[in-house]
Chain A
């Protein structure tokens, strides 16, 4: 599969604080890569680096020229004084390779076209954001916690839709998720992030990796895995790993 974007030994500092250190990864065409990790692990910072919204302190990011990225932000905080219908919101996209109706249909939001953006529920908002991300027929789809504010059945449908879209558009997908069940069952590659990449690889490899188990517990059924954050190592106030532990590459 063709690599679309490669991060080579990326570090990001905020003042004296390390947000991300020594991150190397490659996103490939038609591959779903998921990022999991505890709060404050730098997941959103990683997403912003990949999107080009932030610049790394050191390291190198290589992108395919004219890479079309579709981005679905964590949530939409539009000003309520800016009146927008869903269709008008979609028409704000810079490039469109399909009509707004096609995008809405692909995102499962056809019925929402003339609704006001400010009156949508959490799940509806996410579908509209997905439609906007799809408009440019992206080569890379970046989803930052897409299931936030969506109820359980809606989450399942949303994740199924993401898998379908990958098959249909052959795009790479990068998704930040808390849903370990889906991550383990449906994604091609998992990045377990805690300021550094704790482990990285195929879900099966990752789920038996000691670093993963220390972050997410020893449960055999990932669906039941409690979202806990237990360290075999400690972090200093700056986020550096102190002492032993994290015995992997």
Chain B
């Protein structure tokens, strides 16, 4: 498995034409918090995070609400929505993807984590995707265990 800053990267990616269901399975199988979305030529064209998955399967108006503590789960509707959305294509990336060069510095990676809010960053070697750098792994690497 490829490494960046000495940290083992997670092999988690899907092609751009993948469904939400496939992306969800890839996230779960790889124990990843985000995966790279790859274009037809294998370049990173975006990321799909666990938050994107939540956004996909919960009602879209949820993002507009701020006070939901009094709501109860509607399991029937939730199951219907998950089944409906599983075959939907991934949302099209609307911004340029943030990527990390394999030989980059820890301070640059820290800056990208701070400013993008992403839980994992795609690492590339040139234009080739090599794996996802997880924030949790980055934290473990910079703060050694006692």
A, B bound: no
